[in-house]
Amino acid sequence: MARGDSSLLYIVGADRPEQLQITGNSFQLAGSTDLYKLLGQQPYHRLHMTPNYFRQARRPDIDGYDTFLNLITEPEHNSRVLDNLRKLLRGQHGKVVNRPEAVLRSTRDQVARRLAGIDRLVVPKVARLRGGSPQAAARTLDRSGMPYPLILRESGTHTGKIISLVENASALADTLPSRGEFIATEFVDFRSADGLYRKFRVFFIGGQMIFRHMLVSENWNVHASTRSGYMADRQHLVDEEEARFAQPDGGFPEAVLATLRAIRGRIELDYFGIDFALLANGEVLLFEANATMNFIYFPKTAQFDYLRACIMPATNAFRELLGLAPVPLELGLNALARPRPD
């Protein structure tokens, strides 16, 4: 790889080929971060990490880059490429953003253990289950002390994809698939006083907290389609979310901000998101904290244009993290970056 036009190396890859689509100068990473889109036309080179990378007859020279930006963020489905990347980066002098070792330690169950004990943070119990044996799964849940109901999902899935809300052991026996690995999470009711469910998302990019959104639904499984499917027809909810954007950190009470900063202090990642709710007593209910969260999704309708207020704070926080100069405010969100040839 030539160094003349860039000191920044993007690293992409996946254990399964279908997770990564590369077409010419563009790429799409399924189940990984999209924050790189904030960099617009910033020059970069791209390295494709594969499960058999060290068996390849021809491997690029990566010496001399100032910054290595790891864009492989989902640990459950990418453990092989992340471990290869860990070996490849050993001894490199450039800055590594989101080290693969830290990503490998960001599964739901590991994060729950790491964040337990933070003041005013409710961390639901998490257990890892194997498909095919409801009896063994029930024993695992008993040992963990997890109460019903619980949320059952396939390991490594995000964006509100769940298998079921399981009410009891009998329902678990009926629901647990015959094969695969699954994550069980204690369900904590987080309805607000008006009976609705609110889910917040903030990003930490370096040391900076960026408020991303507040989604509101009448259903506990809150996800992005809630915005057009429920909020759009209820202007008071749209106004409530828009008011949060008056401050880059969402304008939360200081006690909430302190809890979020405490999470930042325990998570080893350089950039990541936190999904959470606020309980009636002011405590923070954790849903998840990891780098596999979408940032670049903005509805085309003018009703939600206020969401774009987070773009510039996030862009310059990300550029600062990578050692790049800030961009002028008027540039906004540029077109997708185009890489130089490998």
pLDDT digits (tens, 9 = 90+) for 228-246: 989 999 999 999 999 999 9
Q: Does domain 125-186 have CATH number 1.10.8?
A: no
Residue type, 140: T
* Confidence category of residue 132, pLDDT binned at 50, 70, 90: confident
- Give the separation between CA 40 and CA 335, rounded to whole angstroms: 5
- Please compute the mean of the pLDDT values over residues 34-63 and round it to a whole number: 92
Residue 51 has pLDDT above 80, yes or no: yes
pLDDT value, residue 332: 52
| Helix intervals (H) in the chain | 79-89, 100-104, 108-115, 134-144, 169-175, 226-229, 235-244, 254-266, 311-321
- Give the separation between CA 226 and CA 234, rounded to whole angstroms: 11
Instruction: For residue range 268-291, list pLDDT tens digits in order.
Output: 999 999 999 999 999 999 999 999
Q: What is the pTM of this model?
A: 0.92
Contacts 24+ apart (CB under 8 A), 176-180: 176/129, 176/131, 176/132, 176/134, 176/137, 176/152, 177/131, 177/132, 178/131, 178/132, 179/131, 179/132, 180/130, 180/131, 180/154, 180/155
CB 219 within 8 A of CB 197: yes
pLDDT value, residue 203: 98
Residue corresponding to tokens 């990564």:
20
Q: Which residue has the higher pLDDT, 25 or 120?
A: 120
pLDDT value, residue 4: 55
The CATH class of 197-290 is alpha beta
pLDDT value, residue 178: 86
Q: Domain ranges for the chain, please list them.
A: 1-99+313-342, 125-186, 197-290
Q: Report the percentage of the chain scoring pLDDT > 90.
A: 77
